[in-house]
Structure 1
Amino acid sequence: MKARTFRRHVRESLKSLARNGWMTFASVSAVTVTLLLVGVFFVIMMNLNKVASTIEEDVEIRVHVDVAANDKDKAVLERQIGEIAGIKSVKYSPKEKELNSLIDSLGEEGEAFKLFEQDNPLNDVFVVKTKNPTDTMYAAKKIERLNYVATVKYGQGKVEQLFSFIEISRNVGLILIVGLLFTAMFLISNTIKITIMARRREIEIMRLVGATNGFIRWPFFLEGLWLGILGSIIPIAVVSSAYYYAYDFLNEKLKDHFIKLLEFNPFVYQLSAILIIMGAAIGIWGSLMSVRKFLKV
């Protein structure tokens, strides 16, 4: 396409937006409302996903070694655990370290446990992590069958519920976002269709004088692009501002907890780019789907 022709298409698309003010407003509003909802859901889901990933990474299997095991038996057990499919790491924690960790975790109440330093009743422990957190249950069952394993603990019951909740939350969030996007495409498609119907005579004349489908389609393509980009400006401004204040407020409240929100930078810039791309894609798709039926002669 020649540069002069492209400039002509750009001018025509901008003129069309100005001529059809109310239709432009309706289309931009449809995109704005939808992207605002998508942006909010996206922020919530991405932060929930980060929290879920953090929790998943903290899931571990604690293998308590039988007190009858000697150093050779422990070495064999460590090797056997490491050979199980899906195991990421195996770390040995002697019972002395376990007792110190227990005392430290209990604070002042833990001082009483120092009496056990001479006759430690705890077991040596292998701390095991899997490559995929959802493989924890499978690995734990395999480890339980090995020799010199006293007990295997990984939060049985609670871990399964946690993974189930995380999976359901992710799926529900994805379905909601996809549903909102399709709703936006439907709304903008119908809104633009009304605009195009009002201009169908213009399209027919262009066809009669020999204009190609591509020549006719380009202004509408660009018009949809502008509508999508315009519709993404307000959602980006609102979501970015809200997240800026929410991030400062919640980070202060959660600083003593393991939960951490996504950093404002670069998350907000990534989110802005996604919303602009989504807006442009919705606008282009809506325009092309609407103008297509008028090009079928």
Structure 2
Amino acid sequence: MKARTLRRHFRESLKSLARNGWMTFASVSAVTVTLILVGVFFVIMMNLNKVAVDLEEQVEIRVHIDVTANEQDQKSLQQKIEKIPEVKTVRFSPKEEELDNLIKSFGEDGEAYKLFEQDNPLNDVLVVKTKNPTDTIKTAEKIEKLEYAAKVKYGQGKIEKLFSFIKLSRNIGLVLIVGLLFTAMFLISNTIKITIMARRREIEIMRLVGATNTFIRWPFFLEGFWLGILGAVLPIVLITTSYRYTFDFLALKLKGIDIELLQFNPFVYQLSGLLIIIGALIGVWGSLMSVRKFLKV
């Protein structure tokens, strides 16, 4: 396509937006409302996924070493665990460290446990993390069969429920996002279709004077693109501003808990770019699908 022709298409698409002010407003409004819903839902789902990942990262296997095991036996057990394919890291935690952690976990009530410092009844522990948190149960079952693994703890019963909930929430979130996007495309397509139907004579005249389908499509293609971009502006402003205040508020509430929201930067910039791309694609798709029926021979 020649540069002069492309400039003409750009110019005509912008003029058309101005000429059809109310229809442009209606189309942009449809894009805006839809992208606000999509954006809010993305914020919620991405942060829920972040929380899920944080919870998964906290999952660990605690292997209590048999009190009869000597130093060589402990090293041998650790080496055997490290050779398990699913294992990521293995850290040795002596019983003195375990007692200190127990005392700290009880706060002021933990003072009573200091009586055990001279005669510590706890076991040495190997703290195991898997490469994939969902392999925790399978890995724990393998470790239980090893010699000198007196007790293996990984939150049995609770872990299974946690993984099931995370998997279910991710699947539901994916289905809802896809459904919302298709709904958005349908709504915006219908809105843009009304705009194009109001200009069907313009299309018919262009065809009568010999314009090709590609030549006719380009202004509408660009029009849909501009509508999508314009419709993304307000959602970006609203969601960015709201997320700033929400992030600052919840960051204080979640302080001291090993759960964090996605950082404002770069998350909001990534989301803004995503909304612009979605808006542009939906606008272009809606325009092309709507104008196609008028170009059939």
TM-score tier, shorter chain, comes to over 0.9
> Which residue is equivalent to 2:67?
67
Local SS of the residue matching 2:294: helix
> Which residue is equivalent to 1:238?
238
- Relative to the length of structure 1, the TM-score reads 0.96
Q: Deviations over 1:98-145 (max 9, x none)?
A: 112112222222222222222211111100000011111110111111
Tell me how far apart the structure 2 counterparts of residues 187 and 24 of structure 1 sit (CA, whole Å): 15
- Map 1:23-34 onto structure 2 (within 5 A): 23-34=23-34
Question: Is 1:12 the equivalent of 2:12?
Answer: yes
Local SS of the residue matching 1:121: coil
Question: Is 1:48 the equivalent of 2:48?
Answer: yes
> Which residue is equivalent to 1:120?
120
Tell me how far apart the structure 2 counterparts of residues 121 and 274 of structure 1 sit (CA, whole Å): 56
Question: What's the CA shift for 1:266?
Answer: 1.3
Question: What's the CA shift for 1:210?
Answer: 2.2
| Stretch of structure 1 that moved more, 21-30 or 239-248 | 21-30
Tell me how far apart the structure 1 counterparts of residues 257 and 76 of structure 2 sit (CA, whole Å): 38
| Stretch of structure 1 that moved more, 274-283 or 287-296 | 287-296
Question: Is 1:271 the equivalent of 2:291?
Answer: no
Local SS of the residue matching 1:229: helix
2:161 maps to a residue whose letter is Q
2:262 maps to a residue whose letter is L
1:131 maps to a residue whose letter is K
- Map 1:185-224 onto structure 2 (within 5 A): 185-224=185-224
1:95 maps to a residue whose letter is K
Question: What's the CA shift for 1:34?
Answer: 0.9
Gaps of 5+ in 2: none
1:94 maps to a residue whose letter is P
Question: What's the CA shift for 1:51?
Answer: 1.2
> Which residue is equivalent to 1:81?
81
1:141 maps to a residue whose letter is E
Local SS of the residue matching 1:294: coil
Question: Is 1:294 the equivalent of 2:297?
Answer: no
Question: What's the CA shift for 1:190?
Answer: 1.4
- Map 1:249-260 onto structure 2 (within 5 A): 249-260=249-260
- Relative to the length of structure 2, the TM-score reads 0.96
Q: Deviations over 1:2-38 (max 9, x none)?
A: 2221111111111221222222122111111111011
Tell me how far apart the structure 1 counterparts of residues 146 and 253 of structure 2 sit (CA, whole Å): 44
Local SS of the residue matching 2:127: strand
Question: What's the CA shift for 1:204?
Answer: 2.3
Question: What's the CA shift for 1:153?
Answer: 0.5
Tell me how far apart the structure 2 counterparts of residues 61 and 244 of structure 1 sit (CA, whole Å): 37
Tell me how far apart the structure 1 counterparts of residues 71 and 252 of structure 2 sit (CA, whole Å): 47
1:252 maps to a residue whose letter is L
Local SS of the residue matching 2:126: strand
1:83 maps to a residue whose letter is K
| Stretch of structure 1 that moved more, 7-16 or 275-284 | 7-16
Local SS of the residue matching 1:295: coil
Tell me how far apart the structure 2 counterparts of residues 231 and 185 of structure 1 sit (CA, whole Å): 13
| Stretch of structure 1 that moved more, 77-86 or 12-21 | 12-21
Tell me how far apart the structure 1 counterparts of residues 107 and 247 of structure 2 sit (CA, whole Å): 32
1:43 maps to a residue whose letter is V
Tell me how far apart the structure 2 counterparts of residues 117 and 192 of structure 1 sit (CA, whole Å): 75
Question: What's the CA shift for 1:205?
Answer: 2.3
> Which residue is equivalent to 2:38?
38
Local SS of the residue matching 2:106: helix
- Map 1:69-218 onto structure 2 (within 5 A): 69-218=69-218
Q: Deviations over 1:20-78 (max 9, x none)?
A: 22221221111111110111111111111111111111110000111111122111111
Tell me how far apart the structure 1 counterparts of residues 85 and 289 of structure 2 sit (CA, whole Å): 50
- Measured on the aligned residues, the alpha-carbon RMSD in Å equals 1.3
Gaps of 5+ in 1: none
> Which residue is equivalent to 2:57?
57
Tell me how far apart the structure 2 counterparts of residues 6 and 89 of structure 1 sit (CA, whole Å): 58
Q: Deviations over 1:147-190 (max 9, x none)?
A: 11111101111111111111222222222221111111111111
2:257 maps to a residue whose letter is H
Local SS of the residue matching 1:8: helix
Identity of aligned residues (%): 75
